[in-house]
Structure formats: C-alpha cells, structure tokens
C-alpha cells in the first residue's frame, strides 16, 4: 500500500518521514511529549528512533490498515535486524502522533 493512500493524515506523515529518513519531518509528526513501546515494553522514544530508524535506515512497507488508518501491518526493515512483519498502533491527538506501539505481527 503506498504511503499516500494511508487514511489518517498523522500516520501518513509519520510513515512518509520515517521512509524518507527525514528527522525533522518525523519529529514534527509527533506531539512534544510523544511516547512509544516496542514488543510491549515502553522505550525512550528518541533513543529508539535513532537506533531503529535513522542510523539503521529503517523503512516501512505497509501491507494493510484498519481502525481508521491508526492500525497498520507492515514489513519493516533496517540494517540491524533485516526485515520482519510488524504491527503498529497509533494514538493521534490534535493531528499528531502522541503514542505509537510496534511489535512483531
């Protein structure tokens, strides 16, 4: 599924920035106090994003969406872990991502 077809504009901005490796646009897609979890454990968002996305060239290929576009299944790959099928859940507040949760699907 192409990024521009994602239903939720905040999720679309998040995925587009992640895939472009655009730190500034990625940060702008999030609320200032955004949080996240990976495989059920809360993580430091800035540290996780740097390690799992930007320094390892992370990329999401979305397979499907539901929940108004706030729940995705995607093939996620980076230089550290290779590719895996992942599930993503997003909480959106005022048009920005306030929390995202990811893990293996």
pLDDT in tens, 47-86: 999 999 999 999 999 999 999 999 999 999 999 999 999 9
Task: State pLDDT tens for residues 9-58.
Answer: 999 999 999 999 999 999 999 999 999 999 999 999 999 999 999 999 99
Residue 59 has what pLDDT? 97
Closest CA to 54 of 22, 28, 16: 22
Residue 67 has what pLDDT? 96
Res. 5 pLDDT band, cuts 50 70 90 = very high
- Which CATH architecture is the domain 3-104 placed in? Roll (3.10)
User: In Å, what is the CA distance from 94 to each residue of 9, 26, 29, 38, 98?
Assistant: 11, 16, 11, 23, 9
The dihedral over CA atoms of 21, 22, 28, 32, expressed in degrees to the nearest 10, equals 60
Percent of the chain with pLDDT over 70: 100
Quote the tokens at residue 20. Answer: 């472009």
> Is residue 11 a contact partner of residue 98, using CB atoms and an 8 Å limit?
no
pTM: 0.95
């Amino acid at each position: 599924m192409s990024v521009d077809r994602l239903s939720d504009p905040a999720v679309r901005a998040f995925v587009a920035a992640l895939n472009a490796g655009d730190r500034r646009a990625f940060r702008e897609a999030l609320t200032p106090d955004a949080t996240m979890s990976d495989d059920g454990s809360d993580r430091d968002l800035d540290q996780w994003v740097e390690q799992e996305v930007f320094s390892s060239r992370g990329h999401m290929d979305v397979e499907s969406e539901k929940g108004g576009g706030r729940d995705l299944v995607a093939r996620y790959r980076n230089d550290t872990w290779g590719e895996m099928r992942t599930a993503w859940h997003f909480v959106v507040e005022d048009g920005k991502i306030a929390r995202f949760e990811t893990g293996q699907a």
